[in-house]
Amino acid sequence: MFDKKISVIIPAYNIEDLICRCIDSVYRQTYPGNLLEILVADDGSTDSTLDRIISYAEGCGTLISDEEIKVYSCVSGAVIKVIHRENGGSSAARNNALGYATGDYVGFVDADDYVDEHMYEALMEAVISDPESEFLMVQASRDEIAEDGTRLPDVCIPPAEKKVVTGSEHLRTLLMHTGDASYCTKLTKRELFEGKDGRFPEGELNEDFYLMIHMLTRVEKLLILPQQYYHVFYRTGSNTRKKQDQKDYFPPVFTDIVRNSDVAAALVRSSFPELTNVAKRFCLVQRLDYLLHIPISKMTSDNIFYRENVVGYLRSHPGDILGNEFLSTKNRVYLILLAIAPKFVRSFHAKIKRIK
């Protein structure tokens, strides 16, 4: 039934306690092993992550190449490729691994997450389900698991049944904060990653969103499965979590999401004009998120990004704040007040929310 090869890329950095669980969940897929390639990209870990990756691979099969990377031929028919490089971030590790991927389709799994054993079989069935032309991108649904094992509320609500959407429709869900921009829940045709425009931006924390919105200009349709086959594991120390011992720590992801909202707006103007008002709403809501999280101590006149790109933007777009049909009344009120007196409103908000 299947004849297409899948490459699954797992970037790993200082994740010694969870990396084997992640690899094992991919290795034990019901998809034919001879059509499965697992690329584990160690991003310069300083703990025992690399040793555990190699140990796992050695337990699955035989080392057949040790030139640029270690390649293991597994008893299941799968191939495990172990890549080690100096630390450069998740995007750099992913981009590097893409150069070694040989599959027709590519999937990604974050090293602290894990996947259901049926995920890639179900996704490939979705790929070939259209009798006229195969899908270039298919997506499973996801659930969210807390560190203590309890189930968290869904970030992305799964559809009731499998659903086909256009690239424009999927972009709309991303801009409305209801869709899933992650490449980890998807299988994507490898040819979409070719060329400089098919790589993850390095040095940013919102890299999936950036690449996804650009890739959607080349994806005519996307099939989404309702099954929650991808399991997001929330652990202490995530890049987006506030560090408890640093009162004034401001995760850089909040700056990235504002910058990416402007990138999205420019893309919409050139490729998806039907989404113009949705994109304007997205730019405003991302700035609202920024202002509701920035420490008050950083709301200063010498913080140019805060002053010009965030507050200055709100003050120059009063018509969009008041007239955008996709903003809630609560959003409008907050945005107007923050545009007028950002530091006072932020201080008041912190007091009622008991934020330090």
In a domain, 1, yes or no: no
DSSP alpha helices (H): ranges in 292-341?
304, 312-315, 318-323, 329-340
The structural domain count of the chain equals 2
Residue where one domain finishes, among candidates 233, 264, 283: 233
Kindly report the pTM of this predicted structure: 0.93
In a domain, 321, yes or no: yes
139 and 17 in one domain?
yes
In a domain, 258, yes or no: yes
Residue where one domain finishes, among candidates 179, 200, 233: 233
What was the pLDDT predicted at 1?
85
Supply the range of the domain harboring residue 267.
253-353
In a domain, 334, yes or no: yes
In a domain, 273, yes or no: yes
Close Cβ partners of 254 (under 8 Å, ≥ 6 residues apart): 289, 290, 293, 294
SS3 228: strand
Question: How many angstroms separate the CA atoms of 292 and 340, rounded?
Answer: 15
What was the pLDDT predicted at 245?
52
What was the pLDDT predicted at 283?
98
What are the φ and ψ backbone dihedral angles of 140, each rounded to 5 degrees? -95, 165
What was the pLDDT predicted at 355?
53
152 and 222 in one domain?
yes
The answer to whether 281 touches 327, Cβ cutoff 8 Å, is yes
Tell me which residues of the chain have a pLDDT lower than 70.
236-246, 353-356
